[in-house]
Chains A and B, each alone.
Chain A
Amino acid sequence: MKRFGMFASALLLGTMLAGAAQAKTLVYCSEGSPENFTPAMNTTGTSFDAARPLYNQLVEFERGSTNVVPSLAESWDVSPDGMTITFKLRPGVKFHSGVNGFTPTRDFNADDVIWSFDRQWKPDHPYAKVSGGAYDYFNDMGMPDLLKSIEKIDDLTVKMTLNEPNAPIIANLAMDFATIASAEYADFLMKKGTPEQFDQIPVGTGPFQFVAYQKDAVIRFKAFDDYWGGKAKIDDLVYAITPDNTARYAKLKAGECHVMGYPNPADLEAMGKDEAINLLQQAGLNIGYLAMNAQKPPFDKKEVRQAINMAIDRDSILKEVYQGAGQKAKNLIPPTIWSYNDAVTDYEYNPEKAKEMLKAAGVENLQSDLWWMPVQRPYNPNAKRMAEMMQADLAKVGINAELKSFEWGEYRKRLQAGEHQMGLLGWTGDNGDPDNFFFLRGCDAQGTPASQNITKWCNKDFNDMLFQARKLSETADRTKIYEQMQVLQKEEAPDVTIAHSTVFEPIRKEVIDYKISPFGRHEFYGVDIQE
């Protein structure tokens, strides 16, 4: 019977589709299947991309940038002491209707906001354990420590109280994990006895609504007529799951998809020449760096760290390892993030001077290790090759660096424990806030380096500024502090900032208004297709 029902609905849908033959369909060649459709539980870009058309957050990143703009919250006020944030919610926001037999009886309101955060926060929430219940990002972004309470003032007002002033939290709320779901849909499924469907058959307020998902094959969405921001320009959005990057490019060339993610670097040249394709590019929100362990001599000496900065020929690394798909990093933050200080003077490649400085610091015939990660990362396409080139550069100034590596999980753990002298790592930004990068060189109040700070460098001035900036809510005030921090960091040189890799995204020429995202997101609301 069920089969027959599916068959009948397929027939009906088929007829409907045939009737609307002129519908505009955009096909995105995605790289894999999502784990589920609940961003709060996911950690991969693939899963976030799959859920993004369906949902909104209180605030969101403006498409193609890291700016935070209003979304489900029309506005927000931060109290003078920075301890409370009051959100004014957007009235008249509709949830998708008709998905999985659910028809919403009310508009979006404060209950949905409370429900969505409580699921990740309160272990006694009815949905806390549904579908496994691991809320990685909520925990990783430190939300349990930051939040004191979230209260409903009225249907369209929510008050968030913090444990300490924290300006970057607004940027956190634009991240995918902070997606707002429908509390009413959750109740509906709980009553039906199928709560796990909440994460498989999603209902949200987003510009597209869910139609169907076939594992490893396709995800289908259709434009939501009642979207609060206005109906999308395309009618149907299709994710054609295509795991092989060469096959994705072949499909793009053949017109079987309009946009593809994660091109094979070897294909970039051909893509650039292809007349049917626009190759978009942007500096990625990331940094690849070499960390020197400031707790291990002689790296505790600033002069030694500076000398190593001068000994490494980053231009050659950019050419050979990044093959041009990267830009030399002067600061820890990439230039796409506000407060980037372009006035900072970078170290010149100067092995002679480096040698002199090492000699002056009393360092001769230094034996060190140099760790490289065994995996390709967005900010470092080939850590082994990079380490080999650095080894050669260091040998020229009399440093004998021994290359070392471990399995990825082990590698990261040991670096965080500070077992290395020199080690390669990097970072991909989460929310476009400078704090999301500078915390990588942060320490706690007692001067113990945070586990993420693999340089193990603790500088009181730097740390004080880091904490001070978190307490200020005005971007202009924070900018001044971050600019100073960049100057100080360059002078102290706990690391060699190597490169920000470039993100490429090929799209077909008929696609209009697609914007490449610094976060590596793929977003289709506002995109159109020329017929």
Chain B
Amino acid sequence: MLRFFLKRVVLTLPTFFALMFVTFLMIRLVPGDPVEVRLGERGISPERHAELLREMGLDRPVWQQFADYVWGLFHGDFGVSIITKTPVVREFLTLFPATLELTLCAMIFAITLGIPAGVIAATRRGGIYDQTLMGLALTGYSMPIFWWGLLLILVMSNTLHLTPVSGRIDLIKYYFEPVTGFMLIDSLLSGQKGAFLDAVRHLILPTIVLGTVPLATVARMTRSAMLEVLGEDYVRTARAKGLTWRRIIGLHALRNALIPVVTVIGLQIGTLLAGAVLTETIFSWPGVGKWLVESIARRDYPALQGGIMLISSIVILCNVIVDVLYGLINPRIRHAH
């Protein structure tokens, strides 16, 4: 088992190197530099431009900058933002809890609704439930996040007044310093009456928006996995033994069907973090997605490089964990390696 784990970890190393290289290079291929993008009509004299680039350390040869960057990474140094002059890791850690909170909620939303929906659809294959659920899943899967978010705000917040429009907490009623960065926990710690419920209310729409695509994916995956399992001999045997339908589904079928679903859920982490970029923008959610987009606009090379490396590491780590879990659940995978 340990060997399998180590092998998986070693396999991620090329991905890391490729990432380091790509993040470094891509942003430099975008025209303009951090000085130029700040300028308006006035422009800048070439001397002053060179001076500012020198102060940012961007006047040195690109290979040298790359070497410094790699050297820094190996020493756990992700650099300092050239715009805010704050260490990238510190900025990341301030913002990441918000993203994580939202992502986890979206994940829970997708799993708790997606798996039952998939099971219902599979057990009533071809029926009205199946067709409705899978129709909805296909719609959800193809939903443009931006449009979906704005539509929900318009209907739920502006018309029905059921949820707040955006943000993480009512800024007029509640004020407390962040302790953990997770609003659900911080609002409880603050001891302010109603703060927790308000934080929950603020989470509803972004969770739905971000969770829609994974929900659809999980539902569709559960359905097809269930259908496959329901056709297996052991399910027929179980029925022949006279077990209740509930017991067959819950104990025999679902447990086996969940194996591929777990993998899909693991892979959804990447999708979720990518979706978070848009969701955070629509809902003014102070997470890392929005920060990265802004860093591109500002050509904040260190923030972008460091931020992408940190997020990718998390995604890669999650995938390794899922792989290992999968190996644990399914010995065939483990031994095949």
Interface positions of A (Cβ within 8 A of B): 3, 6-7, 9-11, 13-14, 17-18, 25, 27, 32-33, 35-36, 43-44, 131-134, 136, 139-140, 196, 199, 212, 214-218, 220, 238, 240-244, 246-247, 250-251, 253-254, 256, 377, 407-410, 412-413, 416, 425-428, 451-452
Contacts and interface: CB of A to CB of B under 8 A. Distances in A.
A218 to B, nearest CB: 6
Nearest to A415: B43
Interface residues of B, number: 56
Contacts of B41: 377, 412, 425-428, 452
Given A253-B158, A254-B157, A410-B31, A13 B175 contact: yes
Contacts of A426: 41
B286 A217 contact: yes
Nearest to A216: B286
Contact of A214 (B48, B83, B178): B178
Given A238-B172, A243-B281, A216 B290 contact: yes
Interface stretch (B10-18, B160-168, B245-253, B328-336): B160-168
B31 A407 contact: yes
A10 B55 contact: no
A451 B192 CA distance: 58
B286 A212 contact: no
Contact of A412 (B39, B153, B176): B39
B143 to A, nearest CB: 17
Nearest to B48: A139
A44 B37 CA distance: 11
A10 B179 contact: yes
B256 interface: no
Given A243-B290, A408-B32, A238 B171 contact: yes
Nearest to A373: B41
Interface of B: 31-33, 36-43, 45, 48, 52, 55, 82-85, 91, 94-95, 98, 150, 153-154, 157-158, 161, 164-168, 170-172, 174-179, 189-192, 281-284, 286-287, 290-291, 294
Contacts of B171: 25, 27, 218, 238, 240, 256
B91 to A, nearest CB: 7
Residue picked from B42, B52, B189, B190, most chain A C-beta under 10 Å? B42
Given A215-B286, A256-B167, A427-B41, A14 B176 contact: yes
Contacts of B166: 242, 247, 250-251, 256
The 5 A-B pairs at the shortest CB distance, nearest first, are namely A216-B286, A409-B36, A217-B286, A407-B31, A10-B176
Contacts of B82: 132
B183 to A, nearest CB: 10
Nearest to A426: B41
16 contacts: A3-B179, A7-B189, A9-B177, A10-B189, A13-B175, A14-B175, A18-B192, A25-B172, A132-B55, A212-B175, A215-B91, A250-B153, A251-B165, A254-B158, A377-B41, A452-B43
Contact of A247 (B38, B95, B153): B153
Nearest to B83: A35
B191 A14 contact: yes
Contacts of A11: 176, 190-191
A416 B43 contact: yes
Nearest to A133: B55
B165 A247 contact: yes
A11, A32, A212, A247: which has the most chain B beta carbons within 10 Å? Answer: A247
Contacts of B286: 214-217, 241
A132 B85 contact: yes
